[in-house]
């Protein structure tokens, strides 16, 4: 007989107290990873701490500084938000790739990050967009860049009694846009063989002044590829430059071979995806 | 530990008892006898368990039953009125968009969520929206035709009523 508890705290402080007082407690957001793992016997929580009734954890707020996404906001709410798709089309594309309409009714960006799958679709998009993770714990709040949040497959920098509260993104400057591409063998409902996100800023003459490229599913965590971003800065994103950035993305990859693809294939394809993401982000940036 | 949950189910205030780890799907089918919502996989892959919670399409297998507290839940049993089938249900019959029928409630609930948000979806939008609903027997074409036909009828009905 299982004796698992269900708690629905109304405040961050209450949630942290519940986590701190029970080492077996697990945070429940949409449950699209946690409940699948629980039913498979891979996780045995002593309590589900449902954080969706904490106002700070659900909701989208957008102001002149940027975006604050409550960690447990369902993906569907992000996809429905007209302004987000205009400002961060790449991030919204990544969110829209998570599972099906049903999964998007539950799954959250916070859960995608905290589950720490190397193939999590939103993580590379968030890294490219300079997202920061707002974490609350008994000692107060700390803020960590998205590229430092995951530490390995299934592990993050969160301590047991900490909670991811929100993800914050700076508002994109003029002529800045993002894009995210992944490769899956089917057209829907599959897990990335490789993924790449890019954010590109152009000046009025079309020269790149800032760029970030991040890759997923090709290393134990999603990676920020500094060399790929650097290769773009000061150029007009000509073919030779794009090839350099693609090569940098491939070089940063440390993939494994599994049923989804061999290491060599992943290394190649992540370069192709990085290039496509850069080209798409730049095309969007030109229109702004 | 038994938990008492108060919710609104298909418009009716409903109280049920459950364990913390029970899914909403378990409670609907085994506790409340609402067996219209089907279990195909219990891992979020098949859509057979689709319900609406506070108007949002969700897989009932990946919702914990206690989460339904103070929410409104609509299942396939709440789609028709006492007088008539919902146009989606009618069109599934007319187009023979089912064989064994196990996937049908999930498709109809998912399609209702689509038409509530987007009364005139394109075929592509419809196919992508229903990508999380699996059917092992009918093939998807008749299902998609039924949904598009229901959408057309519902919007022409509204036009006529105006
Ligand atoms: C059918 C199906 C298809 C899927 N397809 C994709 C896909 O295409 N791409 C993809 O990237 N993922 C996919 N997923 C995985 C999953 O849907 C996503 O990772 C989703 O974003 C998880 O969010 P959630 O809110 O459901 O997380 P949950 O399952 O609630 O939580 C995931 C983990 O994070 C922890 N956690 C959650 N929120 C917090 C928080 N605020 N603070 C601290 N810890 C927290 C939980 O304790 C748990 O360990 C799929 C899943 C299913 C079932
Ligand atoms: S039973 Fe819930 S998605 Fe298959
Ligand atoms: S009619 Fe049998 S699964 Fe769809």
What integer pLDDT is reported at residue A94 of this predicted model?
97
Each residue of A212-244: pLDDT tens digit? 999 999 999 999 999 999 999 999 999 999 999
Tell me the CATH class for B87-156.
mainly alpha
CB contact under 8 A, B3 and A6: yes
Name the phi and psi angles at B40, rounded to 5. -105, -40
Q: Are B120 and B155 in contact (CB under 8 A)?
A: yes
Domain spans in chain B, listed from the N-terminal domain onward? 2-77, 87-156
Question: What percentage of residues in chain B have a pLDDT greater than 90?
Answer: 93
Note the CATH architecture for domain A1-50+58-171: 2-Layer Sandwich (3.30)
Beta-bridged to residue A201, according to DSSP, are A176, A210
Can you give chain A as a three-state secondary structure string? CCCCEEECCCCHHHHHHHHHHCCCEEEECCCCCHHHHHHCCCCCCCEEEEHHHCHHHCCEEECCCEEEEECCCEHHHHHHCHHHHHHCHHHHHHHHCCCCHHHHCCCEHHHHHHHCCCCCHHHHHHHHCCCEEEEEECCEEEEEEHHHCEEECCEECCCCCCEEEEEEEECCCCCEEEEEEEECCCCCCCCCCEEEEEEEEECCCCCEEEEEEEEECCCCCCEECHHHHHHHCCCCCCHHHHHHHHHHHHHHCCCCCECCECHHHHHHHHHHHHHHHHHHHHHHHHCC
Strand, coil or helix: B41: coil
Each residue of A124-155: pLDDT tens digit? 999 999 999 999 999 999 999 999 999 999 99
Residue B157 has pLDDT above 80, yes or no: no
Residue A59 has pLDDT above 90, yes or no: yes
What integer pLDDT is reported at residue A188 of this predicted model?
72
According to CATH, what is the number of the domain A176-286? Answer: 3.30.390.50
Domain spans in chain A, listed from the N-terminal domain onward? 1-50+58-171, 176-286
What integer pLDDT is reported at residue A231 of this predicted model?
98
- Nearest ligand (C-alpha, residue B51): 2
Residue B128 has pLDDT above 60, yes or no: yes
With left for phi above 0 and alpha for psi between -120 and 50, is residue B57 left, alpha or beta? beta
Give the residue carrying structure tokens 């993305």: A249
Of all atoms in ligand 3, which is nearest to the CA of residue B48? Answer: 3
Whether A176-286 and A1-50+58-171 are alike in CATH topology: the answer is no
Question: What percentage of residues in chain A have a pLDDT greater than 70?
Answer: 99
Among chain A residues, the shortest Cα distance to B42 is held by: A36
At the topology level, CATH places domain B2-77 in Ubiquitin-like (UB roll) (3.10.20)
Question: For residue A266, what are the CA distances in angstroms to A163, A217, A251, A262, A284?
Answer: 33, 8, 11, 6, 26
What integer pLDDT is reported at residue A1 of this predicted model?
56
Question: How many angstroms separate the first and last alpha carbons of chain B?
Answer: 53
Beta-sheet strands, E only, within B55-150: 56-59, 72-74
What integer pLDDT is reported at residue B25 of this predicted model?
98
A106 C-alpha to ligand 1 centroid (Å) = 9
Residue B162 has pLDDT above 70, yes or no: no
What integer pLDDT is reported at residue B77 of this predicted model?
98
Question: What percentage of residues in chain A have a pLDDT greater than 90?
Answer: 95
Of all atoms in ligand 2, which is nearest to the CA of residue B46? Answer: 4
Strand, coil or helix: B157: helix
Q: What is the mean pLDDT of chain B?
A: 96
The pair of three-digit structure tokens given for residue B136, joined into one six-digit string: 């092992």
Q: Are A195 and A182 in contact (CB under 8 A)?
A: yes
What integer pLDDT is reported at residue B160 of this predicted model?
60
What integer pLDDT is reported at residue A72 of this predicted model?
98
Helix (H) or strand (E) holding B147: helix B140-161
What integer pLDDT is reported at residue B1 of this predicted model?
72
Is the torsion defined by CA of A174, A90, B59, A164 positive or negative? negative
Q: What is the DSSP letter of B27?
A: I
- B interface with A, Cβ–Cβ < 8 A, is 1, 3, 19-21, 23, 42-45, 47, 50, 53, 56-59, 61-64, 66-67, 69, 110, 113-114, 117, 128-133
B136 C-alpha to ligand 3 centroid (Å) = 5
Calpha distance B14→B72 (Å, rounded) = 10
Instruction: Read off the pLDDT of each residue in B66-92 and give the average, rounded to a whole number.
Output: 97
CB contact under 8 A, A4 and B19: yes
Each residue of B10-60: pLDDT tens digit? 999 999 999 999 999 999 999 999 999 999 999 999 999 999 999 999 999
């Amino acid at each position: 007989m299982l004796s698992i508890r269900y708690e629905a705290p109304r405040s961050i402080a209450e949630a942290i107290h519940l986590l701190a007082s029970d080492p077996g407690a697990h945070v429940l957001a949409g449950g699209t990873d946690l409940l699948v793992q629980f039913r498979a016997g891979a996780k045995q929580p002593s309590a589900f701490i449902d954080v969706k009734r904490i106002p700070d954890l659900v909701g989208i707020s957008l102001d002149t500084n940027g975006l604050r996404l409550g960690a447990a906001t369902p993906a569907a709410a992000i996809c429905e938000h007209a302004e987000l798709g205009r400002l961060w089309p790449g991030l919204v594309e990544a969110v829209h790739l998570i599972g099906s309409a049903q999964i998007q009714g539950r799954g959250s960006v916070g859960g995608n990050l905290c589950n720490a799958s190397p193939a999590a679709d939103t993580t590379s998009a968030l890294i490219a967009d300079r997202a920061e993770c707002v974490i609350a714990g008994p000692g107060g709040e700390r803020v960590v860049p998205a590229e430092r949040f995951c530490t390995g497959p299934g592990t993050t920098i969160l301590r047991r009694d900490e909670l991811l509260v929100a993800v914050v993104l700076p508002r994109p400057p003029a002529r800045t846009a993002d894009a995210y591409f992944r490769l899956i063998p089917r057209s829907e409902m599959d897990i990335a063989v490789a993924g790449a996100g890019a954010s590109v800023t152009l000046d009025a003459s079309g020269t790149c002044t800032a760029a970030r490229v991040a890759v997923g599913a090709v290393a134990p965590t999603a990676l920020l590829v500094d060399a790929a971003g650097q290769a773009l800065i000061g150029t007009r994103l000509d073919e030779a430059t794009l090839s350099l950035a693609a090569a940098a993305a491939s070089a940063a990859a440390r993939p494994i071979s599994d049923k989804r693809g061999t290491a060599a294939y992943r290394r190649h394809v992540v370069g192709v995806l990085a290039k496509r993401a850069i080209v798409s982000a730049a095309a969007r940036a030109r229109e702004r | 530990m038994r938990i008492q949950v108060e919710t609104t189910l298909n418009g009716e205030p409903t109280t049920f008892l459950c364990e913390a780890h029970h899914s909403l799907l378990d409670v609907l089918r085994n506790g409340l006898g609402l067996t219209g919502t089907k279990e195909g996989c219990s891992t979020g892959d098949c859509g057979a368990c689709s319900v609406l919670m506070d108007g949002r399409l969700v897989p009932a297998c990946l919702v914990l039953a206690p989460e339904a507290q103070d929410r409104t839940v609509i299942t396939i049993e709440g789609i028709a009125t006492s007088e008539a089938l919902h146009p989606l249900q009618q069109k599934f019959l007319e187009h023979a968009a089912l064989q064994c029928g196990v996937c049908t409630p999930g498709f109809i609930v998912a399609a209702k969520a689509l038409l509530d948000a987007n009364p005139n979806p394109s075929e592509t939008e419809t196919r992508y929206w229903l990508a999380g609903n699996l059917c092992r027997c009918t093939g998807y074409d008749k299902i998609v035709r039924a949904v598009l036909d229901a959408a057309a009828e519902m919007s022409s009905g509204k036009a006529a009523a105006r």
